[in-house]
Structure 1
Protein backbone atom coordinates (compact mmCIF):
# COMPACT_ATOMS: atom_id res chain seq x y z
CA UNK A 1 0.00 0.00 0.00
CA UNK A 2 2.03 2.92 -1.28
CA UNK A 3 1.08 6.05 0.71
CA UNK A 4 -0.71 8.91 -1.04
CA UNK A 5 2.21 11.33 -0.68
CA UNK A 6 4.45 8.92 -2.59
CA UNK A 7 2.24 9.49 -5.65
CA UNK A 8 1.19 13.13 -5.15
CA UNK A 9 4.08 15.62 -5.47
CA UNK A 10 1.97 18.58 -4.32
CA UNK A 11 0.90 16.78 -1.16
CA UNK A 12 4.48 15.67 -0.53
CA UNK A 13 5.69 19.25 -0.95
CA UNK A 14 3.12 20.63 1.48
CA UNK A 15 3.96 18.00 4.09
CA UNK A 16 7.62 18.98 3.79
CA UNK A 17 6.71 22.67 4.22
CA UNK A 18 4.57 22.09 7.31
CA UNK A 19 7.10 19.78 8.96
CA UNK A 20 9.97 22.16 8.22
CA UNK A 21 8.10 25.21 9.51
CA UNK A 22 6.97 23.60 12.77
CA UNK A 23 9.89 21.30 13.65
CA UNK A 24 13.01 21.57 11.48
CA UNK A 25 13.22 25.37 11.48
CA UNK A 26 12.81 25.79 15.27
CA UNK A 27 15.48 23.14 15.80
CA UNK A 28 17.94 24.97 13.53
CA UNK A 29 17.11 28.20 15.37
CA UNK A 30 18.50 26.72 18.58
CA UNK A 31 21.90 27.41 16.97
CA UNK A 32 20.94 30.21 14.55
CA UNK A 33 18.20 32.34 16.15
CA UNK A 34 18.44 35.08 13.50
CA UNK A 35 17.60 33.63 10.09
CA UNK A 36 17.51 36.63 7.77
CA UNK A 37 20.48 36.51 5.41
CA UNK A 38 21.54 33.04 6.53
CA UNK A 39 23.13 31.04 3.69
CA UNK A 40 21.53 27.60 3.49
CA UNK A 41 21.97 24.55 1.26
CA UNK A 42 19.82 21.43 1.25
CA UNK A 43 21.34 18.23 -0.12
CA UNK A 44 18.65 16.01 -1.61
CA UNK A 45 16.12 18.84 -1.65
CA UNK A 46 13.50 17.00 -3.71
CA UNK A 47 10.48 19.24 -4.24
CA UNK A 48 11.98 21.98 -2.07
CA UNK A 49 9.42 21.99 0.72
CA UNK A 50 12.00 21.98 3.51
CA UNK A 51 13.53 25.19 2.15
CA UNK A 52 10.25 27.09 1.78
CA UNK A 53 9.97 28.29 5.43
CA UNK A 54 13.64 29.31 5.41
CA UNK A 55 13.06 31.36 2.29
CA UNK A 56 10.04 32.98 3.95
CA UNK A 57 12.34 34.05 6.80
CA UNK A 58 14.82 35.70 4.43
CA UNK A 59 17.47 32.98 4.05
CA UNK A 60 19.45 32.74 0.83
CA UNK A 61 19.17 29.12 -0.28
CA UNK A 62 20.57 26.53 -2.65
CA UNK A 63 18.76 23.26 -3.25
CA UNK A 64 20.64 20.42 -4.90
CA UNK A 65 19.36 17.02 -5.97
CA UNK A 66 20.57 14.29 -8.31
CA UNK A 67 17.10 13.93 -9.89
CA UNK A 68 16.41 16.63 -12.53
CA UNK A 69 12.67 15.86 -12.45
CA UNK A 70 12.47 16.72 -8.75
CA UNK A 71 14.45 19.91 -9.29
CA UNK A 72 11.93 20.91 -11.96
CA UNK A 73 9.11 20.30 -9.48
CA UNK A 74 10.92 22.45 -6.90
CA UNK A 75 11.24 25.23 -9.47
CA UNK A 76 7.49 25.13 -10.09
CA UNK A 77 6.67 25.31 -6.37
CA UNK A 78 9.25 27.99 -5.51
CA UNK A 79 9.23 30.05 -8.69
CA UNK A 80 8.97 33.43 -6.94
CA UNK A 81 12.16 32.77 -4.98
CA UNK A 82 14.18 31.58 -7.98
CA UNK A 83 12.92 34.52 -10.04
CA UNK A 84 13.95 36.92 -7.27
CA UNK A 85 17.44 35.44 -6.96
CA UNK A 86 16.94 34.24 -3.37
CA UNK A 87 17.04 30.55 -4.38
CA UNK A 88 19.16 28.46 -6.72
CA UNK A 89 18.01 24.94 -7.61
CA UNK A 90 20.65 22.66 -9.11
CA UNK A 91 20.59 19.10 -10.43
CA UNK A 92 24.19 18.15 -9.72
CA UNK A 93 26.47 15.98 -7.61
CA UNK A 94 28.01 17.98 -4.75
CA UNK A 95 31.27 16.07 -5.26
CA UNK A 96 31.72 17.68 -8.71
CA UNK A 97 34.79 19.90 -8.86
CA UNK A 98 32.88 22.85 -10.30
CA UNK A 99 30.26 22.61 -7.54
CA UNK A 100 32.96 22.77 -4.89
CA UNK A 101 34.61 25.63 -6.75
CA UNK A 102 31.38 27.60 -6.77
CA UNK A 103 30.36 26.92 -3.16
CA UNK A 104 33.49 26.30 -1.08
CA UNK A 105 32.97 27.70 2.46
CA UNK A 106 29.67 29.19 1.29
CA UNK A 107 27.01 27.93 3.70
CA UNK A 108 26.10 28.69 7.29
CA UNK A 109 23.70 25.72 7.40
CA UNK A 110 23.65 22.57 5.31
CA UNK A 111 20.50 20.44 5.57
CA UNK A 112 20.20 16.70 5.00
CA UNK A 113 16.58 15.84 5.82
CA UNK A 114 15.68 12.18 5.24
CA UNK A 115 18.73 11.94 3.00
CA UNK A 116 21.73 10.47 4.84
CA UNK A 117 20.07 7.05 5.12
CA UNK A 118 19.99 6.85 1.29
CA UNK A 119 23.64 7.78 0.67
CA UNK A 120 26.06 4.86 0.12
CA UNK A 121 29.30 6.29 1.53
CA UNK A 122 28.10 8.27 4.54
CA UNK A 123 31.56 8.82 5.97
CA UNK A 124 32.69 10.40 2.70
CA UNK A 125 29.83 12.86 2.41
CA UNK A 126 29.88 13.90 6.08
CA UNK A 127 33.59 14.64 5.75
CA UNK A 128 33.10 16.41 2.41
CA UNK A 129 30.49 18.80 3.79
CA UNK A 130 33.15 20.60 5.85
CA UNK A 131 34.53 22.09 2.65
CA UNK A 132 31.17 23.71 1.92
CA UNK A 133 30.62 25.22 5.38
CA UNK A 134 31.38 28.80 6.34
CA UNK A 135 33.58 29.36 9.42
CA UNK A 136 30.47 29.40 11.64
CA UNK A 137 28.68 26.73 9.65
CA UNK A 138 26.81 23.69 10.95
CA UNK A 139 25.04 20.70 9.40
CA UNK A 140 21.50 19.64 10.22
CA UNK A 141 20.68 15.94 9.90
CA UNK A 142 17.23 14.44 10.30
CA UNK A 143 16.71 10.72 9.63
CA UNK A 144 14.95 7.55 10.82
CA UNK A 145 17.36 5.22 12.66
CA UNK A 146 17.78 1.95 10.78
CA UNK A 147 16.48 -0.35 13.51
CA UNK A 148 13.23 1.49 14.14
CA UNK A 149 9.99 -0.33 13.14
CA UNK A 150 9.85 1.05 9.59
CA UNK A 151 13.50 2.01 9.15
CA UNK A 152 13.61 0.09 5.87
CA UNK A 153 10.98 2.37 4.28
CA UNK A 154 8.75 -0.66 3.75
CA UNK A 155 5.77 1.70 3.77
CA UNK A 156 6.37 2.08 0.01
CA UNK A 157 5.31 -1.55 -0.51
CA UNK A 158 2.18 -2.10 -2.59
CA UNK A 159 1.05 -4.95 -0.36
CA UNK A 160 -0.92 -3.40 2.51
CA UNK A 161 0.09 -5.99 5.11
CA UNK A 162 3.76 -5.81 4.19
CA UNK A 163 3.74 -2.00 4.19
CA UNK A 164 2.57 -2.04 7.82
CA UNK A 165 4.80 -4.88 9.03
CA UNK A 166 7.36 -3.60 11.58
CA UNK A 167 11.00 -4.70 11.63
CA UNK A 168 10.70 -6.90 8.50
CA UNK A 169 13.63 -4.98 6.99
CA UNK A 170 15.93 -6.47 9.65
CA UNK A 171 15.72 -9.93 8.10
CA UNK A 172 18.92 -11.20 6.42
CA UNK A 173 19.09 -9.90 2.85
CA UNK A 174 18.28 -13.21 1.04
CA UNK A 175 15.30 -13.83 3.31
CA UNK A 176 14.16 -10.23 2.99
CA UNK A 177 14.23 -10.44 -0.81
CA UNK A 178 12.28 -13.68 -0.61
CA UNK A 179 9.58 -12.12 1.59
CA UNK A 180 9.24 -9.16 -0.77
CA UNK A 181 8.81 -11.51 -3.75
CA UNK A 182 6.37 -13.70 -1.80
CA UNK A 183 4.14 -10.69 -1.16
CA UNK A 184 4.21 -9.77 -4.84
CA UNK A 185 6.32 -6.64 -4.78
CA UNK A 186 7.55 -5.40 -8.14
CA UNK A 187 11.22 -5.50 -9.12
CA UNK A 188 11.69 -1.71 -8.85
CA UNK A 189 10.24 -1.65 -5.32
CA UNK A 190 12.45 -4.57 -4.28
CA UNK A 191 15.49 -2.74 -5.67
CA UNK A 192 14.60 0.45 -3.78
CA UNK A 193 14.09 -1.42 -0.52
CA UNK A 194 17.27 -3.46 -0.76
CA UNK A 195 19.24 -0.29 -1.55
CA UNK A 196 17.89 1.30 1.62
CA UNK A 197 18.86 -1.86 3.52
CA UNK A 198 22.44 -1.42 2.33
CA UNK A 199 22.61 2.27 3.38
CA UNK A 200 20.42 2.46 6.51
CA UNK A 201 22.20 4.10 9.44
CA UNK A 202 21.83 3.65 13.19
CA UNK A 203 22.23 6.32 15.87
CA UNK A 204 25.49 4.79 17.10
CA UNK A 205 26.99 4.49 13.62
CA UNK A 206 26.06 8.07 12.77
CA UNK A 207 27.64 9.41 15.94
CA UNK A 208 30.81 7.36 15.37
CA UNK A 209 31.16 8.82 11.88
CA UNK A 210 30.58 12.35 13.16
CA UNK A 211 33.29 11.85 15.78
CA UNK A 212 35.77 10.34 13.31
CA UNK A 213 35.21 13.25 10.93
CA UNK A 214 35.96 15.68 13.78
CA UNK A 215 32.55 17.24 14.27
CA UNK A 216 31.00 18.29 17.56
CA UNK A 217 27.30 17.59 18.23
CA UNK A 218 25.73 20.91 19.25
CA UNK A 219 22.07 19.82 19.36
CA UNK A 220 20.41 16.41 19.45
CA UNK A 221 16.76 15.39 19.70
CA UNK A 222 15.19 11.93 19.52
CA UNK A 223 11.51 11.38 18.70
CA UNK A 224 9.39 8.47 19.79
CA UNK A 225 6.88 9.61 17.15
CA UNK A 226 8.35 11.31 14.09
CA UNK A 227 6.99 14.87 13.54
CA UNK A 228 6.24 14.09 9.87
CA UNK A 229 3.68 11.52 11.05
CA UNK A 230 1.49 14.44 12.10
CA UNK A 231 1.02 15.33 8.43
CA UNK A 232 1.04 11.83 7.00
CA UNK A 233 -1.10 10.04 9.58
CA UNK A 234 -2.55 12.67 11.92
CA UNK A 235 -0.49 11.38 14.88
CA UNK A 236 0.88 13.92 17.34
CA UNK A 237 4.72 13.94 17.62
CA UNK A 238 6.35 12.79 20.83
CA UNK A 239 9.92 13.42 21.95
CA UNK A 240 11.61 10.23 23.12
CA UNK A 241 11.64 9.57 26.87
CA UNK A 242 15.06 10.68 28.12
CA UNK A 243 15.99 7.44 29.95
CA UNK A 244 15.34 5.47 26.73
CA UNK A 245 17.21 8.00 24.59
CA UNK A 246 20.24 7.49 26.84
CA UNK A 247 20.46 3.71 26.26
CA UNK A 248 22.74 2.94 23.29
CA UNK A 249 21.43 0.55 20.64
CA UNK A 250 18.10 -0.12 22.41
CA UNK A 251 16.96 3.41 21.54
CA UNK A 252 17.31 2.58 17.83
CA UNK A 253 14.37 0.18 17.99
CA UNK A 254 11.91 2.64 19.54
CA UNK A 255 13.05 6.00 18.13
CA UNK A 256 11.40 6.82 14.80
CA UNK A 257 13.37 9.98 14.02
CA UNK A 258 16.47 11.86 15.17
CA UNK A 259 17.52 15.48 14.64
CA UNK A 260 21.13 16.65 14.94
CA UNK A 261 23.10 19.84 14.51
CA UNK A 262 26.84 19.28 14.17
CA UNK A 263 29.78 21.60 13.52
CA UNK A 264 33.45 20.98 12.71
CA UNK A 265 35.72 20.98 15.74
Structure 2
Protein backbone atom coordinates (compact mmCIF):
# COMPACT_ATOMS: atom_id res chain seq x y z
CA UNK A 1 0.00 0.00 0.00
CA UNK A 2 1.35 3.40 -0.97
CA UNK A 3 1.74 6.26 1.53
CA UNK A 4 -0.82 8.23 -0.50
CA UNK A 5 -3.52 5.78 0.63
CA UNK A 6 -3.01 6.77 4.27
CA UNK A 7 -2.02 10.45 3.90
CA UNK A 8 -5.38 11.81 2.78
CA UNK A 9 -4.21 15.42 2.50
CA UNK A 10 -1.59 14.31 0.00
CA UNK A 11 -4.20 12.26 -1.82
CA UNK A 12 -6.51 15.28 -1.93
CA UNK A 13 -3.82 17.47 -3.49
CA UNK A 14 -2.91 14.80 -6.04
CA UNK A 15 -6.49 14.22 -7.18
CA UNK A 16 -7.13 17.97 -7.39
CA UNK A 17 -4.11 18.43 -9.65
CA UNK A 18 -5.10 15.55 -11.92
CA UNK A 19 -8.63 16.90 -12.12
CA UNK A 20 -7.32 20.36 -13.02
CA UNK A 21 -5.00 19.08 -15.73
CA UNK A 22 -7.02 16.25 -17.24
CA UNK A 23 -10.63 15.79 -16.06
CA UNK A 24 -11.78 19.39 -16.36
CA UNK A 25 -10.22 19.91 -19.83
CA UNK A 26 -11.81 16.65 -20.99
CA UNK A 27 -15.24 17.73 -19.74
CA UNK A 28 -14.70 21.06 -21.51
CA UNK A 29 -14.80 19.21 -24.84
CA UNK A 30 -18.58 18.84 -24.53
CA UNK A 31 -19.53 21.08 -21.61
CA UNK A 32 -17.44 24.25 -21.29
CA UNK A 33 -17.04 25.09 -17.61
CA UNK A 34 -17.98 28.74 -17.09
CA UNK A 35 -18.40 28.80 -13.30
CA UNK A 36 -22.20 28.77 -13.38
CA UNK A 37 -22.58 25.00 -13.47
CA UNK A 38 -23.92 22.71 -10.77
CA UNK A 39 -21.46 19.85 -10.32
CA UNK A 40 -22.08 16.56 -8.50
CA UNK A 41 -19.52 13.89 -7.70
CA UNK A 42 -20.72 10.46 -6.61
CA UNK A 43 -18.18 8.62 -4.46
CA UNK A 44 -16.32 11.89 -3.93
CA UNK A 45 -13.94 10.80 -1.17
CA UNK A 46 -12.20 13.91 0.17
CA UNK A 47 -13.41 15.91 -2.83
CA UNK A 48 -10.13 16.55 -4.63
CA UNK A 49 -11.72 16.11 -8.06
CA UNK A 50 -14.19 18.89 -7.26
CA UNK A 51 -11.66 21.52 -6.20
CA UNK A 52 -10.92 22.91 -9.72
CA UNK A 53 -14.66 23.37 -10.32
CA UNK A 54 -15.18 25.08 -6.95
CA UNK A 55 -12.28 27.44 -7.66
CA UNK A 56 -14.03 28.52 -10.86
CA UNK A 57 -17.21 29.35 -8.99
CA UNK A 58 -19.26 26.24 -9.72
CA UNK A 59 -21.62 25.02 -7.03
CA UNK A 60 -20.21 21.62 -6.15
CA UNK A 61 -21.85 18.75 -4.28
CA UNK A 62 -20.07 15.60 -3.15
CA UNK A 63 -21.73 12.40 -1.96
CA UNK A 64 -19.89 9.51 -0.33
CA UNK A 65 -20.92 6.58 1.82
CA UNK A 66 -17.82 6.99 4.04
CA UNK A 67 -18.49 9.52 6.80
CA UNK A 68 -14.79 10.06 7.51
CA UNK A 69 -14.17 11.02 3.87
CA UNK A 70 -16.98 13.59 3.76
CA UNK A 71 -15.84 15.09 7.07
CA UNK A 72 -12.34 15.46 5.63
CA UNK A 73 -13.81 17.01 2.48
CA UNK A 74 -15.69 19.60 4.53
CA UNK A 75 -12.44 20.45 6.30
CA UNK A 76 -10.46 20.72 3.06
CA UNK A 77 -13.17 22.95 1.52
CA UNK A 78 -13.63 25.17 4.58
CA UNK A 79 -12.77 28.23 2.50
CA UNK A 80 -15.32 27.48 -0.21
CA UNK A 81 -18.93 28.42 0.55
CA UNK A 82 -20.03 26.88 -2.77
CA UNK A 83 -19.20 23.31 -1.70
CA UNK A 84 -21.54 20.88 0.06
CA UNK A 85 -20.76 17.29 1.08
CA UNK A 86 -23.22 14.62 2.15
CA UNK A 87 -22.56 11.34 3.90
CA UNK A 88 -25.05 8.82 2.52
CA UNK A 89 -25.57 5.99 0.08
CA UNK A 90 -26.16 7.76 -3.23
CA UNK A 91 -29.00 5.40 -4.03
CA UNK A 92 -30.85 6.97 -1.07
CA UNK A 93 -29.95 10.55 -2.03
CA UNK A 94 -33.12 12.61 -2.68
CA UNK A 95 -34.13 12.87 -6.32
CA UNK A 96 -34.16 16.38 -7.82
CA UNK A 97 -37.49 18.11 -7.33
CA UNK A 98 -37.29 19.98 -10.63
CA UNK A 99 -35.06 20.53 -13.65
CA UNK A 100 -33.31 23.43 -11.91
CA UNK A 101 -32.25 21.08 -9.10
CA UNK A 102 -30.46 18.75 -11.52
CA UNK A 103 -26.75 18.87 -12.30
CA UNK A 104 -24.94 20.14 -15.36
CA UNK A 105 -21.90 17.98 -14.70
CA UNK A 106 -21.80 14.66 -12.84
CA UNK A 107 -18.51 12.95 -12.04
CA UNK A 108 -18.27 9.20 -11.52
CA UNK A 109 -14.57 8.55 -11.13
CA UNK A 110 -13.28 5.09 -10.17
CA UNK A 111 -16.70 4.13 -8.81
CA UNK A 112 -18.59 2.12 -11.44
CA UNK A 113 -16.19 -0.84 -11.09
CA UNK A 114 -17.34 -1.18 -7.45
CA UNK A 115 -21.05 -1.30 -8.30
CA UNK A 116 -22.70 -4.69 -8.70
CA UNK A 117 -25.83 -3.71 -10.65
CA UNK A 118 -24.46 -1.13 -13.03
CA UNK A 119 -27.55 -0.75 -15.17
CA UNK A 120 -29.83 0.11 -12.26
CA UNK A 121 -27.17 2.39 -10.81
CA UNK A 122 -26.66 4.38 -14.03
CA UNK A 123 -30.42 4.60 -14.52
CA UNK A 124 -30.57 6.26 -11.09
CA UNK A 125 -27.68 8.61 -11.92
CA UNK A 126 -29.51 9.58 -15.11
CA UNK A 127 -32.30 11.09 -13.01
CA UNK A 128 -29.87 13.75 -11.75
CA UNK A 129 -28.66 14.90 -15.18
CA UNK A 130 -29.89 18.24 -16.48
CA UNK A 131 -30.82 18.63 -20.13
CA UNK A 132 -27.62 19.43 -21.98
CA UNK A 133 -25.54 18.11 -19.08
CA UNK A 134 -22.75 15.55 -19.15
CA UNK A 135 -21.78 12.55 -17.07
CA UNK A 136 -18.02 12.02 -16.83
CA UNK A 137 -17.18 8.39 -16.08
CA UNK A 138 -13.67 7.03 -15.60
CA UNK A 139 -12.72 3.50 -14.64
CA UNK A 140 -9.89 0.99 -15.12
CA UNK A 141 -10.70 -1.81 -17.55
CA UNK A 142 -10.95 -5.05 -15.57
CA UNK A 143 -8.27 -6.93 -17.53
CA UNK A 144 -5.62 -4.21 -17.29
CA UNK A 145 -2.52 -5.04 -15.16
CA UNK A 146 -3.99 -3.68 -11.91
CA UNK A 147 -7.70 -3.84 -12.74
CA UNK A 148 -8.35 -5.72 -9.52
CA UNK A 149 -7.19 -2.74 -7.43
CA UNK A 150 -4.56 -4.97 -5.88
CA UNK A 151 -2.47 -1.84 -5.30
CA UNK A 152 -4.52 -1.33 -2.12
CA UNK A 153 -3.02 -4.50 -0.62
CA UNK A 154 -0.82 -3.95 2.40
CA UNK A 155 1.54 -6.64 1.17
CA UNK A 156 4.23 -5.20 -1.08
CA UNK A 157 4.29 -8.50 -2.96
CA UNK A 158 0.55 -8.57 -3.77
CA UNK A 159 0.32 -4.86 -4.49
CA UNK A 160 2.99 -5.09 -7.20
CA UNK A 161 1.92 -8.20 -9.15
CA UNK A 162 0.19 -7.30 -12.44
CA UNK A 163 -2.71 -9.36 -13.76
CA UNK A 164 -2.89 -11.75 -10.80
CA UNK A 165 -6.47 -10.65 -10.14
CA UNK A 166 -7.36 -12.62 -13.30
CA UNK A 167 -6.53 -15.91 -11.58
CA UNK A 168 -9.42 -18.24 -10.68
CA UNK A 169 -11.09 -17.23 -7.44
CA UNK A 170 -9.61 -20.04 -5.36
CA UNK A 171 -6.03 -19.27 -6.40
CA UNK A 172 -6.57 -15.53 -6.02
CA UNK A 173 -7.92 -15.81 -2.48
CA UNK A 174 -5.17 -18.27 -1.51
CA UNK A 175 -2.47 -15.83 -2.64
CA UNK A 176 -4.09 -12.91 -0.84
CA UNK A 177 -4.45 -14.84 2.42
CA UNK A 178 -1.33 -17.00 2.55
CA UNK A 179 1.24 -15.01 0.59
CA UNK A 180 0.02 -11.45 1.12
CA UNK A 181 -1.43 -12.11 4.60
CA UNK A 182 -4.18 -9.63 3.80
CA UNK A 183 -6.92 -8.96 6.35
CA UNK A 184 -10.27 -10.67 5.89
CA UNK A 185 -12.07 -7.40 5.14
CA UNK A 186 -9.50 -6.54 2.44
CA UNK A 187 -9.93 -9.96 0.83
CA UNK A 188 -13.71 -9.54 0.85
CA UNK A 189 -13.41 -6.13 -0.79
CA UNK A 190 -11.02 -7.35 -3.47
CA UNK A 191 -13.35 -10.26 -4.21
CA UNK A 192 -16.25 -7.81 -4.40
CA UNK A 193 -14.33 -5.83 -7.03
CA UNK A 194 -13.70 -9.08 -8.91
CA UNK A 195 -17.43 -9.83 -8.87
CA UNK A 196 -18.28 -6.29 -10.04
CA UNK A 197 -15.58 -6.16 -12.73
CA UNK A 198 -16.10 -3.70 -15.57
CA UNK A 199 -14.92 -4.22 -19.12
CA UNK A 200 -15.18 -1.62 -21.86
CA UNK A 201 -17.70 -3.72 -23.76
CA UNK A 202 -19.91 -4.32 -20.74
CA UNK A 203 -19.89 -0.66 -19.79
CA UNK A 204 -20.83 0.53 -23.28
CA UNK A 205 -23.67 -1.99 -23.46
CA UNK A 206 -24.94 -0.72 -20.11
CA UNK A 207 -24.92 2.90 -21.29
CA UNK A 208 -27.03 1.99 -24.32
CA UNK A 209 -29.54 0.17 -22.15
CA UNK A 210 -29.83 3.27 -19.97
CA UNK A 211 -30.38 5.55 -22.99
CA UNK A 212 -27.11 7.36 -22.43
CA UNK A 213 -25.22 8.45 -25.53
CA UNK A 214 -21.43 8.28 -25.65
CA UNK A 215 -20.34 11.78 -26.63
CA UNK A 216 -16.61 11.21 -26.13
CA UNK A 217 -14.39 8.24 -25.29
CA UNK A 218 -10.68 8.17 -24.57
CA UNK A 219 -8.78 5.05 -23.55
CA UNK A 220 -5.45 5.54 -21.81
CA UNK A 221 -2.39 3.32 -22.00
CA UNK A 222 -0.90 5.30 -19.10
CA UNK A 223 -3.56 6.65 -16.74
CA UNK A 224 -3.29 10.46 -16.34
CA UNK A 225 -3.28 10.03 -12.57
CA UNK A 226 -0.09 7.98 -12.84
CA UNK A 227 1.67 11.31 -13.31
CA UNK A 228 0.95 12.01 -9.64
CA UNK A 229 1.32 8.45 -8.41
CA UNK A 230 4.42 7.30 -10.27
CA UNK A 231 5.70 10.35 -12.19
CA UNK A 232 4.81 8.64 -15.47
CA UNK A 233 3.87 10.61 -18.56
CA UNK A 234 0.20 9.98 -19.49
CA UNK A 235 -0.20 8.27 -22.86
CA UNK A 236 -3.34 7.64 -24.86
CA UNK A 237 -4.01 4.16 -26.18
CA UNK A 238 -3.33 4.14 -29.95
CA UNK A 239 -6.51 4.41 -32.00
CA UNK A 240 -5.85 1.11 -33.78
CA UNK A 241 -5.60 -0.76 -30.48
CA UNK A 242 -8.59 1.09 -29.04
CA UNK A 243 -10.71 -0.36 -31.84
CA UNK A 244 -9.90 -4.01 -31.07
CA UNK A 245 -12.67 -5.34 -28.89
CA UNK A 246 -11.69 -7.28 -25.77
CA UNK A 247 -7.94 -7.00 -26.45
CA UNK A 248 -8.02 -3.28 -25.61
CA UNK A 249 -9.08 -4.09 -22.05
CA UNK A 250 -5.64 -5.54 -21.28
CA UNK A 251 -3.96 -2.21 -22.06
CA UNK A 252 -6.49 0.40 -20.89
CA UNK A 253 -5.39 1.60 -17.46
CA UNK A 254 -8.17 4.19 -17.51
CA UNK A 255 -11.25 4.66 -19.68
CA UNK A 256 -12.71 8.17 -19.98
CA UNK A 257 -16.29 8.71 -21.14
CA UNK A 258 -18.54 11.71 -21.53
CA UNK A 259 -22.16 10.58 -21.57
CA UNK A 260 -25.22 12.61 -22.53
CA UNK A 261 -28.94 12.05 -22.23
CA UNK A 262 -30.48 10.24 -25.14
CA UNK A 263 -34.19 11.14 -25.15
CA UNK A 264 -36.53 8.23 -25.69
CA UNK A 265 -40.29 7.97 -25.31
CA UNK A 266 -40.02 4.62 -23.60
CA UNK A 267 -36.86 5.05 -21.51
CA UNK A 268 -38.66 4.24 -18.27
CA UNK A 269 -40.18 1.05 -19.64
CA UNK A 270 -36.89 0.03 -21.21
CA UNK A 271 -34.90 0.54 -18.00
CA UNK A 272 -37.57 -1.01 -15.79
CA UNK A 273 -37.81 -4.11 -17.96
CA UNK A 274 -34.05 -4.52 -18.18
CA UNK A 275 -33.75 -4.29 -14.37
CA UNK A 276 -36.20 -7.11 -13.89
CA UNK A 277 -34.80 -9.24 -16.70
CA UNK A 278 -31.18 -8.90 -15.64
CA UNK A 279 -31.30 -8.73 -11.87
CA UNK A 280 -34.70 -9.69 -10.47
CA UNK A 281 -36.55 -7.17 -8.35
CA UNK A 282 -35.72 -3.47 -8.62
CA UNK A 283 -34.92 -3.32 -4.89
CA UNK A 284 -32.20 -5.94 -5.31
CA UNK A 285 -30.68 -3.98 -8.19
CA UNK A 286 -29.75 -1.11 -5.95
CA UNK A 287 -27.63 -3.11 -3.53
CA UNK A 288 -23.86 -3.25 -3.68
CA UNK A 289 -22.17 -6.36 -2.22
CA UNK A 290 -20.53 -4.57 0.71
CA UNK A 291 -21.91 -1.06 0.43
CA UNK A 292 -18.64 0.82 0.09
CA UNK A 293 -16.68 2.81 -2.45
CA UNK A 294 -12.91 2.58 -2.45
CA UNK A 295 -10.82 5.50 -3.69
CA UNK A 296 -7.75 4.19 -5.48
Q: 1:22-171 residue pairs with structure 2 within 5 A?
A: 22-81=21-80, 84=81, 86-96=82-92, 99-101=94-96, 106-171=102-167
Alignment of 1:200 onto 2:197: yes
Q: Secondary structure at the match of 1:63?
A: strand
The TM-score with structure 1 as length reference comes to: 0.95
Counterpart Cα distance in 1 of 2:67 and 2:6? 17
Q: Secondary structure at the match of 1:61?
A: strand
Give the Å deviation of 1:133: 1.0
Deviations 1:165-192 (A, max 9, x none): 1111011112211111121222122122
Q: 1:151-230 residue pairs with structure 2 within 5 A?
A: 151-183=147-179, 184-230=181-227
Deviations 1:123-146 (A, max 9, x none): 111111121111112210011011
Q: Secondary structure at the match of 1:217?
A: strand
Contact residue 103 and residue 132 of structure 1 kept, 8 A: no
Contact residue 44 and residue 63 of structure 1 kept, 8 A: yes
Counterpart Cα distance in 2 of 1:154 and 1:101? 37
Counterpart Cα distance in 2 of 1:69 and 1:157? 20
Name the residue aligned to 1:4. 3
Higher mean C-alpha deviation, range 98-107 or range 55-64: 98-107
Give 4+ residue runs of structure 1 displaced > 6 Å after superposition.
none
Q: Secondary structure at the match of 1:124?
A: helix
Alignment of 1:258 onto 2:289: no
Higher mean C-alpha deviation, range 242-251 or range 122-131: 122-131
Structure 1 residue runs of 5 or longer lacking an equivalent are: none
Give the Å deviation of 1:102: 5.2
Higher mean C-alpha deviation, range 129-138 or range 219-228: 129-138
Contact residue 35 and residue 54 of structure 1 kept, 8 A: no
Counterpart Cα distance in 2 of 1:35 and 1:204? 33
The TM-score with structure 2 as length reference comes to: 0.85
Contact residue 31 and residue 134 of structure 2 kept, 8 A: no
Counterpart Cα distance in 2 of 1:50 and 1:35? 17
Counterpart Cα distance in 1 of 2:48 and 2:15? 5
Give the Å deviation of 1:156: 1.4
Counterpart Cα distance in 2 of 1:64 and 1:201? 22
Q: How many residues align?
A: 260
Structure 2 residue runs of 5 or longer lacking an equivalent are: 263-296
